[in-house]
Every structure is written in C-alpha cells, then in structure tokens.
Amino acid sequence: MSELLVNMVKGSNAERLMLLAHGYGADERDLGALLPHLDPDGRFAAVMPRAPHEASGTPGYAWFPITADGIDPVSFTGVLDDLDTLVDEQCAELGFARDEVVFAGFSQGAGLALALAMRAGVATRPAGVLAMSPFAPDVERLGFDWEASTAIPVLLQHGTEDPMIPVTVARQLAGVLKAHDVPLIYKEYPMGHNIALESVEDARAWLDAIRAGEQPTAAIPEPPPEGPVTTVTTTSFDLEVLRSEIPVIVDFWAPWCEPCKQLGPIVDQIARMREGSYKVVKVNIDEEPALATQYEVQSIPLIAIFRNGRLERKSLGAKPRPQLEAELGMLVIP
C-alpha cells in the first residue's frame, strides 16, 4: 500500500487516471490549478501525490535527494515503486484501466513520469507522458525498456529562458528519446522554469489526441540560429579565445540575470560593428562554472577583453555601449 499523501481531483466525466507529480519545493496542491485548463471537460481523475522528502530551503517537498554525487539511486527507485503502487491502487479503486493512465509532471515530477513509464520490468505501460520542464537523470543509464517505449507517446515542453534546467538539456533529452523511436512532440516556449498559457493549451490538445488513441509525433524543431555572438565552452575556450589572432570580447552571463538581458543587444551591436577587428563570444556561467572560477567572475554581467591569450580588462554591469567600449580600452565608435 502506498504511503504517499495524495490530493485527488476527480473530473465530472472522469474516465481515466492522470498522475500529476509536482516539482522540487512544491507540494500536492501545486499543479491542481492547471486542471481546468488541461482538462476542461473533466475527463480525468487527477491524483497528485506529495513528494516524500522535505526540500531544503523551501516550504515544499522533493521526490529524491540530490547531493554533490548526484541522485541517490536507492531513493529514486524507491519513489518510482511508491508511485507505481499508487497508480495501481487508484485504478483499482476507481475502476479505471491501467493502460489508459497518463503520467504527467513538472521538473522533478516530469523526470519521474518519464522514468516511471519507461523503466524496465513494468507490466503495463501508460497511455502517454506529459513532461513539463523535466529534470531528468541520465536516461541512457536508467535501464529504460526502449522497445516498450516505442509505444508510449511523449509531449516534452521546455522554456528557452529556463535558468534552472538549460534548454540545451531538454534538447539533448528529446534527441535521445527520438533516437529510440519514442513517439515524441517536443516544444519550446519563451519562458523560464515555469508553465505558460501556450504550453498548457498545447498540452490540452495533446491529451485530447491521447484520449482518441493517437500517438502524436513530429520532427524535433531546429534550435534557433545563433546571433553574432557565439557561445564558447570550457572545451572550446582555449581555441576560440586564448589562441585567437584578434582580440576577443567575452560576455560572462546567465539566463536568470536581468541586467545580462539588458546588455545583450549592446554586445550584439558591438559584434556587428567590430566584425573582423574583434571576435565577440559569450559564456553561460551556469553551464561553465570552471571558467567563471578561473577568471574570478563573482558578479554578472561581466564583459572581458582578451588579447594575445591574456585577460586584459573587465567591465562589470550593464551600461551604454560607449562607456563599455571605453572601459575595455577600445577606440569608442560614436
């Protein structure tokens, strides 16, 4: 018997179950507000369990602990077992078919929904998985039953401005699912680590298709083309910056940084105006913490200029282009 605390909302015309798992720091009431939009006709009975661990620094809960060594596999497997038992119990109590259940979740809960649906050794698979801004462990190491997963449609949604789980992570996850022939719809939205009205509307349409017995699938859209400022990583920094034959302007930034967003168009303008004389690149300090540490980036936005492999000058904070150029020791262009 499952010991998870559960919030149950049964639609007026409920014909199947939806498991709706909240994200880190939330609780069993968090996603209930989505139901009038996800399921306006009341076709689902939504079971929303509370995660079993307290989430440090928040009033809510976490599905599994995350330490410096990563996810505790014992806790991760244990909570999957608990959720599996919960779904069995709710289907039996309400008289719903186990293979018509939809697993859905946000962030940690979305990663669990995917793992619960696709892990090996499961007798009955769900009708589909709705993964909203998923925090998903390395799916290639989880022992998924990829053959069975080819019959499980997935809607994967993510924000292009997500400061907690970069959109590149979601794109990689989508690529893995697609490579294993999972029926996948992958969509991106101009949002952070949250849920937008447009994403909910797309989820509702996808749920209607699942209820109709369809397995929606589409090609993964190409990521938007990169602008005049290219991204460098720890791996490419030596070649692109330190060994560059021309001076390099480096924008140290992060997606959650509002002043960085204000400064972005100015950095783009400098890249266009100085093309051929300067190279302009950017470093996401969340994804490249080693570079941030190496160059003592303690506040952002920080713009640095490298010449002949050496850091020459820095400018901290958002400011007008002429002031930025002057602080970097560049000839100011009116």
Torsions phi, psi for 324 (to 5 deg) = -60, -45
Annotated catalytic residue 91: no
Number of separate helices (H) and strands (E) present in the chain: 10, 16
The residue behind tokens 């904070």 is 317
* Torsion sign, CA atoms 182, 188, 194, 196: negative
Q: Which of 191, 248, 260, 292 is catalytic?
A: 260
* Torsion sign, CA atoms 286, 289, 294, 297: positive
Through-space distance between the first and last CA atoms of the chain, rounded to whole angstroms: 72
Say how far apart CA 64 and CA 140 lie, in whole Å: 19
Q: Which of 114, 257, 304, 305 is catalytic?
A: 257
Q: Are 117 and 126 in contact (CB under 8 A)?
A: yes
Annotated catalytic residue 260: yes
Say how far apart CA 92 and CA 10 lie, in whole Å: 15
**Which residues are designated catalytic?**
257, 260
